[in-house]
A and B are shown apart, each in its own frame.
Chain A
Amino acid sequence: MRKSALLAAVLFLLVALVPLAGDAYWLRLGTTMLMYGVIAMAWNFIGGLAGYPSFASAAFFGLGAYAGAVAQKLGVPMGLAWTLAGALSLAFAALLGLALLRLRGHYFAIASLVVAEVLRELVNSATDLTGGGMGLNLPVPHDATVASQSEFFFYAMLALAAITFAAMLWATHSKLGFGLRCIQQNESAADMLGVNTTLYKVAAFMLSGAFAGAAGAIYASWVHYIEPPDVFDVLYSVKAIVMVLLGGAGSVFGPLFGAAIFLSLEELVWRNYLQVHTGVLGLMIVLLVLFLPKGVFSLRLPWRKGKP
């Protein structure tokens, strides 16, 4: 655990140097990568550790984005708005988890997939609060330059990624993560051994929700404008899974590496083929599932074994 923490600290410090390059393109790319990393790590709590095929990432991300945006619109300071958005997603995940985590397999997957659709419709119809289908503009602080702004959001996303990573590292090497691994391998046996499976699964779902929601809130402030189909996009749920699969499910660094690899592919391949954007993503998923279902690093790396 100490080794992983040290390695991560070095990694995050290196990433923190990116703004020195001073290039707006690299800054945008870095922020996106960190955001993807947070979404992937957040999914890893429920999908990687507990082994539940959650498609709820988009729901949490969108909920956080709208919660943060609405709070800011109502005059809540930005940092507090992000925290509130994370807390709301956490509470929402708790309630949702109590209901949905009784389902298994395909049923859980579908139910979690549907949540984003329902939220999107609700946000669409709550026009007074959310602007509905017209989208929502966020206040832009006028005392800052564009460059300093993008630097600010980069560091905000970096801080969130670091916190998410710390939480995941802690969870993996604690009783919580151990219990979740038991659940992932054999839930009824875990129950028999005294694991309060409901509590553990809901806890994992809450962590998942909180971090994905916070990422959504920062994203909303960063891009200044959100609309329902953008932030409740089911592709967020799919990308989270793909990134973790790429990097290796259940590993501590997997989601981050997966996010980096995924974004590189996205940038290298898709920028040139905008029209077949989703098709190429689909092809990538198919190839990944067929040929590398255990991730790019299919070797058993030393840090992938979380000992009690």
Chain B
Amino acid sequence: MLSLQILANGLVLGGLYACIAAGFSLVWGVLNVINILHGSFIVLGGYLAYYAYAQFGIHPFVSILIAAPLFFALGYILQRSLINRMIAAPVLLTLSLTFGLDLMLSNGMLVAFTADFKKLTLDPPLGVLNLGGIALPVDRLFAMVLALALTGLLYLLLSRSRIGRAIVAVRMDREAAALMGVNVKRIYAVTFGLGALMAGASGPLLAMIFPISPLSGPVYLGKAFVICVLGGLGSVPGAMIGGLALGVVESFGALWFGPEHAITLSFTLLILMLLFRPTGLLGRTGYA
């Protein structure tokens, strides 16, 4: 029973993780840019939900709808204005660029919101669902369902819509896509925008479950890394599998080794995966 409960906790967590990683993985796969800002975007989305609820009573689920377009625009503009200038530069430079931007954003948040952890507590609370002895907090359950729905929407967008197919085409073969009339620069910006959107939209969901602080940015970023490597780079199903896998591993790891070793455990997993199965658990890349 206990292990079933742990498994359920892990899957709920994993659904959220999938949502964290999907956008990060998309940007990495398509632009070959690691967006270090991703973690801070998530935190910023969390603050947006926190203040929207505390000041105006806007429910976090509704905040997602506010966050999505805002973050898309932010990502689109950032890519168009700054990141695109370095898109073909060596890894070290693109990495340094987003790192520098992240230092600015997280420092800015530290000044604006302080390092104190803030907790978004729904009033009245949604209660706990009891499924044959397995207790599931309803807010977590809703957050997970929404997270998976968001991730699923991204998948649908990529596999069905015209712009989505163009993104996939650019990922597979940029030159060929350009020859076929795809505006690669615009696709890059849209992709970066989508990545930011996914981060910003998962912020409100996480805010309902975890306390928010600018210091959490790197933690979420680290999880996104691990999930990408677990599930394989640049695919939504990969992010889904990787997210769920990490959620379950963290839950059981906390049980067996103690919660303080969660980071060590997931990073050890990361290094082992990189060394022995760099294509990820699914063993393939792309959206096919």
A contacting B, Cβ–Cβ less than 8 Å:
yes
Contact of A105 among B91, B218, B260, B264 (CB under 8 A): B91
Main secondary structure of the interface of A (DSSP, over half): helix
Contact with B along A266-293 (1 / 0, CB 8 A): 0000000001111101111110111001
Segment among A114-122, A134-142, A190-198, A202-210 that sits at the interface with chain B: A114-122
Which residue from chain A places its CB closest to the CB of B106 in the assembled complex? A278
Q: Are A285 and B261 in contact (CB under 8 A)?
A: no
Q: Are A111 and B93 in contact (CB under 8 A)?
A: no
Chain B residues in 8 Å Cβ range of A99: 271, 275
Known: A53-B95, A117-B222, A278-B106. A284 touches B100 (CB 8 A): yes
Q: How many A-B residue pairs have CB under 8 A?
A: 117
Q: Are B263 and A121 in contact (CB under 8 A)?
A: yes
State whether the Cβ of B101 lies closer than 8 Å to any Cβ in chain A.
yes
Shortest CB distance A132–B (Å): 10
Known: A279-B108, A282-B107. A111 touches B86 (CB 8 A): no
- A contact residues, total (Cβ < 8 Å): 41
State whether the Cβ of A106 lies closer than 8 Å to any Cβ in chain B.
yes
State whether the Cβ of A215 lies closer than 8 Å to any Cβ in chain B.
no
Which residue from chain B places its CB closest to the CB of A114 in the assembled complex? B267
Q: Are A279 and B104 in contact (CB under 8 A)?
A: yes
Contact with A along B260-278 (1 / 0, CB 8 A): 1101100110110011001
Which residue from chain B places its CB closest to the CB of A277 in the assembled complex? B107
Q: How large is the interface on B (under 10, 10 to 19, 20 to 34, 35 or more residues)?
A: 35 or more
Q: How far apart are the CA atoms of A282 and B217 in the complex, in Å? A: 15
State whether the Cβ of A29 lies closer than 8 Å to any Cβ in chain B.
no
Contact of A53 among B92, B106, B263 (CB under 8 A): B92
Shortest CB distance B89–A (Å): 7
Contact of A282 among B93, B100, B111, B278 (CB under 8 A): B100
Which residue from chain B places its CB closest to the CB of A235 in the assembled complex? B103
9 further A-B pairs in the complex, CB-CB below 8 A; given A285-B96, A288-B100: A99-B275, A100-B275, A110-B229, A110-B270, A115-B271, A117-B267, A118-B271, A125-B260, A282-B99
Q: Which B residues have a C-beta under 8 Å from some C-beta of A?
A: 28, 32, 34, 82, 85-86, 89-93, 95-97, 99-108, 111, 218, 222, 225, 229, 260-261, 263-264, 267-268, 270-271, 274-275, 278
